[in-house]
Amino acid sequence: MSDLKGIITAMVTPFSEKDESLDVAAARNMASWLIEHGVHGLFIGGTNGEFHLLNDDEKELLTREVVDEVAGRVPVIAGAGCCGTTHTCELSRRLADAGADYISLVTPYYLVPKQPDLRKHYETIASSTDAKLILYNIPGQTGCKIEPETADALADVDNIVGIKDSSGDFDTQLAYIEISKHKDFGVFNGSDSLMLKAFKAGSAGSVAATSNVIPEIEVALYDAFVAGDLEKAQAERDKMDLLRMTLKKCVAPAVMKATLNLMGVPAGITRKPISMPDDNVMADVHTMLAEYGIPEA
């Protein structure tokens, strides 16, 4: 897991403003823009990537195109988690064949399997592919939590190599980190507000939606942390809150996409039923960019 650490952008998926179709050219451009601004990895087809609104063919195409654009510069994690085990096995193989370095597996959603069933779900997926798999815990969205005891058991599976925790429950992330101290199992923070706290506790990386917009700030945070300059790391962490508060004014990733568009990084629109920001929210976005000193295109 030595290649997967630091700031990993939970990249948004660009859709055409004309018909909501997948805009692969914009996705390729965005991937390179993020790498040029220092991020250490890309997480595509996740929550902020509107995976729930992408079909399997689009997920495979997105993965293939981004992997080709990245050309090995940073690791690419692709989201393959589905409600059903068989479906997830099939999609995991497709995305691995498309070149993803790691496959992320969000828990089943809407369904709420018991922990023994959840463990069997992941073990079955792992046995169906040689791909390196990362569990994804986000119970606020899925209704299904990966209990630390379940994660501990799954960490013994050879190709289950880590977990992304977006629960916002730091005690849960600490329990995962404790597992990582004894097993070859990476922990990746998925709650941007906890980024620095997670690094201090031992998380290997942070899968950060906010790094779509302010990659340089978050890379500076990580670099300062690694260098032992915790005062600078905290100063960079404090800069994140303006963006975090602005993003909450709409359903994700509407504000994110609108902001990127203003920055000259085409992100297109959200797919329905989620709408793009209205004029009042856009006024806040303009103000936010001015406060960050980010020029508009």
Active site residues: 136, 164
Closest CA to 261 of 231, 227, 234, 286: 286
Question: Within 13 A of 268's CA, how many CA atoms are on the CB side?
Answer: 24
Is residue 77 within 8 Å of residue 53, measured between CB atoms?
Answer: no
Is residue 106 within 8 Å of residue 81, measured between CB atoms?
Answer: yes
Rounded Cα gap, residues 152 and 133, in angstroms: 14
Closest CA to 93 of 66, 124, 65, 68: 124
For residue 71, the SS3 value is coil
Residue 127 C-alpha from the chain's centroid: 24
